[in-house]
Amino acid sequence: MPEERSMGRKLAQAHANMGKILFHTAIRLTLAGVIVLAGIRGNPPGRPVNFLAGSLAAFIALFALMWVFFPLIHLGDCLEFYETGIMIGKRLWRLDKLGKISFMDVKSNYSLFRKTYMCTEVRQFNITYIKDAKKNFNRAYFDGI
């Protein structure tokens, strides 16, 4: 808590976007379900031919589950804007160290969804799953929306 006092008073905060996280998870779950159904329809389930084939199937299933439920790790994402700094996750960053701050939306050819980054001179922070981060940043530091 002493670090928060040195950062000044809290101006605004932005929390995880539950709707976006659940929507992305649902889309991934649907896509994985369609692929599994297509695989089962083409190859009826049964015992694997050998241990290596069973291990490969288990590895693929584990990887698919990790991919499907990946957005859920962002449920705890949070941005807090203070007078002299920003708390991203659990780490405090001073505004003078971050330098110029801008926001960037990126659409990849390999993804259905956009990613949003808060770009600073130190690094680019992925704030895709944080609701109204740019609006709260502008509200906190520029008294505008």
- Each residue's pLDDT tens digit, 28-75: 999 998 888 877 776 666 666 678 877 887 898 899 999 999 999 999
Q: How far apart are CA 135 and CA 112, in angstroms?
A: 24
Residue 38 belongs to domain spanning: 19-71
Order across the sheet with 91-94: list the strands.
10-15, 78-82, 85-88, 91-94
**How many folded domains does the chain comprise?**
2
Domain-terminating residue out of 51, 71, 91: 71
**Are 93 and 99 spatial neighbours (Cβ–Cβ below 8 Å)?**
no
Say whether pTM exceeds 0.75. Answer: yes
Q: Provide the pLDDT for residue 56.
A: 84
Query: Do 28 and 62 belong together in one domain?
Result: yes
Over the stretch 81-122, which tens digit does the pLDDT of each residue have?
999 999 998 899 999 999 999 999 999 888 888 899 999 999
